[in-house]
Amino acid sequence: MINPVGSAELEPLFVYDPDKHHALIKEAQDLPSIVVSSAAAANAVMMGGGYFTPLEGFMSVADAMGCAENMKMTDGRFFPVPVLNLVESLDGIGDAKRIALRDPNVEGNPVVAIQDVGAIEEVSDAQMQTMTEKVYRTTDPKHPGVAAFNGQGRYAITGPIQVLSFSYFQSDFPDTFRTAVEIRNEIREHGWERVVAFQTRNPMHRAHEELCKMAMEGVDADGCVIHMLLGKLKPGDIPAPVRDGAIRKMVELYFPRNTVMITGYGFDMLYAGPREAVLHAYFRQNMGATHFIIGRDHAGVGDYYGAFDAQTIFEEEVPEGVLDIEIFNADHTAYSKKLHKVVMMRDVPDHTKEDFILLSGTKVREMLGRGEAPPSEFSRPEVAQILMDYYQSVN
């Protein structure tokens, strides 16, 4: 099985031992505490599940700057984005050496982790601007990732963490949320050696379905892990429970049995385009995938990134030898009226725009909102019905 990034074994930070877990929960009651940002809570969940192996906790400003500028921490270890615990105020922390990190996304703000305070640093405006520019390729405050990153505060609390909770992800998505440890174990149980991972924050239409099948056939994979983001999205995106139901219906009806794992992870979308694609590849290797699909405008938003920047970054910017996972570069996919099947557009140079069934996301949402199913060549009818029910419930 493929090794985790920079490590022979996964290093999850969740405290699984029940006695230690109970003792830490008890200790947390008497520690100074702070309600962290949603991004920091999600990062803790990812570290807890082993996805960010071999990180041991929240980065120093120097490490975060190194990751932003050249994807390497000060000790030379590779990581593609800063992982910071940024807070607006240090009230209540004082000179504490250990603090409880409280979850902003769960009622009552329960403890998500305990952090050893290595240092508290104030991040300068210049440093925030550099990190923003390098990771997001823009400082436009209208970019949802830029707004979220810059809205967290300017004090960085550095230090290792012990994770005590997977936030709301485990309780709200018991059939879908999986840690990297659990996915690796399930891949091993299946006996899969070559595994394709597919990232999604949206329901899957025919083009996505066929892309997974093309990738599996193209790399002779034993199975596919559909790995959906379960954390915070931008307004207007379809909620995770609706996506989950639609994807499960598609897999049930249109994939061979025992070839697909439907899983999810607890993280807030960055919308960082190319840099987020590298992060996605990083933690897909950690969960055991050998191949990762990256298509048009992967992890993008608006017009901030070129259509295939998320593919070229692996050739132009990612340091050589840091990742073992292989990238399956996908073109835009659409249904060909000529060939009566979904194709990658680059594979049919004789086609014109009129030879494809092409629908914008806006057009599809409008149709679903009116109770109209998109063409069956675009969306499976059973999937479309789930989405129509959702859109009509919110209109």
Tokens of 39: 């991004």
**Of residues 201, 248, 296, 365, which has the active-site annotation?**
201
Report the run of H or E that residue 328 belongs to, with start and end: strand 326-329
Listed in sequence order, the DSSP H helices in the chain are 18-28, 38-48, 61-70, 125-136, 144-150, 169-172, 180-190, 206-218, 240-254, 273-286, 309-316, 361-369, 381-394
**Of residues 3, 77, 154, 202, which has the active-site annotation?**
202
Spell out the residues 6+ positions from residue 321 whose beta carbon is closer than 8 angstroms to its own. none
* HSE-up of residue 390 (Cα within 13 Å, Cβ side): 20
DSSP conformation class of 291: E
Question: Is 202 one of the catalytic residues?
Answer: yes
Crossing angle of helices 381-394 and 240-254, in 10° steps, is: 160
Q: Which residues of 197-209 are buried (b: 16+ CB within 10 A; e: fewer)?
A: bbbbbebbbbbbb
Spell out the residues 6+ positions from residue 294 whose beta carbon is closer than 8 angstroms to its own. 277, 280, 281, 310, 311, 314, 327, 328, 329, 330
Question: Is 3 one of the catalytic residues?
Answer: no
Torsion of CA 378, 380, 386, 389, to 10 degrees: 50
Q: Are 290 and 325 contacting, i.e. CB atoms less than 8 angstroms apart?
A: yes
Spatial distance between the Cα atoms of 62 and 67, rounded to a whole number of angstroms: 9
Q: Are 99 and 58 contacting, i.e. CB atoms less than 8 angstroms apart?
A: no
Spell out the residues 6+ positions from residue 301 whose beta carbon is closer than 8 angstroms to its own. 143, 144, 145, 234, 271, 273
Torsion of CA 40, 42, 44, 50, to 10 degrees: -150
Q: For residue 383, give the nearest of 233, 249, 276 by alpha carbon.
A: 249
Instruction: Kindly list the catalytic residues.
Output: 201-202
